[in-house]
Amino acid sequence: MSMTEQDLETARLQAQQSIRALRNKKPSLDNDSIDVILRGARSHYAWTDKPVSNELLHTIYEITAAGATSMNTCPARFVFVTSAQGKERLAKSLKPKNVEKMMSAPVTAIIAYDRDFWHQLPYLFPHEDRRSFFEGKQDYCEDTAYRNSTLQGAYFMIAARALGLDVGALSGFSNDIVDEEFFADKNWRSNFLCNLGYADESALFQKLPRFSFEQVCSFI
């Protein structure tokens, strides 16, 4: 898809007007909203049996897709594991202590990335053909896809919390087993797993410490 200069200018003006209108309507989130998505949020590993609808997963993805990625590459791919068969396949990859956490969750999302993402750039970045940035550059493709799919995974978790779900990310699994089991016919690679549902809060323990601003931030 190509855009004329006039199309681009119109699109730029519309984007500028849209963000100004949004900022005027909602300059910032209130403290309770910030607590829900990050400050007061927790990682969960025990779940109630309340189901998660496909419609809600669609909405989570739509919010996630709006998040920024480098050159709008959008390399993340999401596989929602909900069936008993799918869960059994995914369990093969997990460390033993993580199996029950995944099996009891209504949904487990495999956050993956497509190493051939750059083929879609004429659609995703229509005002300039940047496929040459990636063609034949496997390491650069891998780095870009991994970094930006991680970013999209974070958007995904925040979007799920914003819509009332609880999340529990998992990294205690074998990426190789997941890739062989689910992506043998694709040039996709798994990044991390994320359980979704409505949590059983009785399994929570105290919130763990975080570094203070002074410990990890600096000015130059």
* 7-53 pLDDT per residue, tens: 888 988 999 999 999 999 999 999 999 999 999 999 999 999 999 99
Q: What's the rounded mean pLDDT across residues 106-131?
A: 95
In angstroms, rounded to a whole number, what is the distance separating the alpha carbons of residues 49 and 197?
Answer: 8
Cβ distance 90 to 79 under 8 Å?
no
* 164-189 pLDDT per residue, tens: 999 999 999 999 999 999 999 999 99
The pLDDT score that the predictor gives to residue 166 is 98
* Residue 3 in this model has a pLDDT that exceeds 80: no
* Residue 118 in this model has a pLDDT that exceeds 90: yes
Task: For the domain covering 42-201, report its CATH number.
Answer: 3.40.109.10
Of residues 186, 195, 194, the one with CA closest to residue 113: 186
In angstroms, rounded to a whole number, what is the distance separating the alpha carbons of residues 106 and 47?
Answer: 8
Query: If phi over 0 gives left and psi between -120 and 50 gives alpha, with beta otherwise, what is residue 72?
Result: left
Of residues 63, 57, 103, the one with CA closest to residue 80: 57
The pLDDT score that the predictor gives to residue 5 is 81
Q: Pick the residue with more confidence: 126 or 106?
A: 106
Phi/psi at 163 (5° precision): -95, 10
Q: What's the rounded mean pLDDT across residues 89-111?
A: 97
Strand 107-114 relative to strand 76-81: parallel, antiparallel, unpaired? antiparallel
Q: What's the rounded mean pLDDT across residues 126-142?
A: 94
- Our measurement of the distance from residue 111's CA atom to the centroid of its chain's CA atoms, rounded to an integer in Å, reads 6
The pLDDT score that the predictor gives to residue 1 is 53
Q: For the chain, give every domain's residue range.
A: 1-40, 42-201
Q: What is the 3-state secondary structure (H, E, C) of 173-191?
A: ECHHHHHHHHCCCCCEEEE
Of residues 106, 105, 185, 99, the one with CA closest to residue 90: 99
Q: What's the rounded mean pLDDT across residues 134-142?
A: 97
In angstroms, rounded to a whole number, what is the distance separating the alpha carbons of residues 122 and 128?
Answer: 8
* Residue 4 in this model has a pLDDT that exceeds 90: no
Contacts of 164 (CB under 8 A, 6+ apart): none
Q: What burial letters (b/e) apply to 155-173, b meaning 16+ CB within 10 Å?
A: bbbbbbbeeebbbbbbeeb
In the chain, % of residues over pLDDT 70: 99
CA distances from 68 to 15, 17, 64, 216, 219 (A): 14, 18, 9, 25, 26
Strands annotated E in 7-96: 76-81
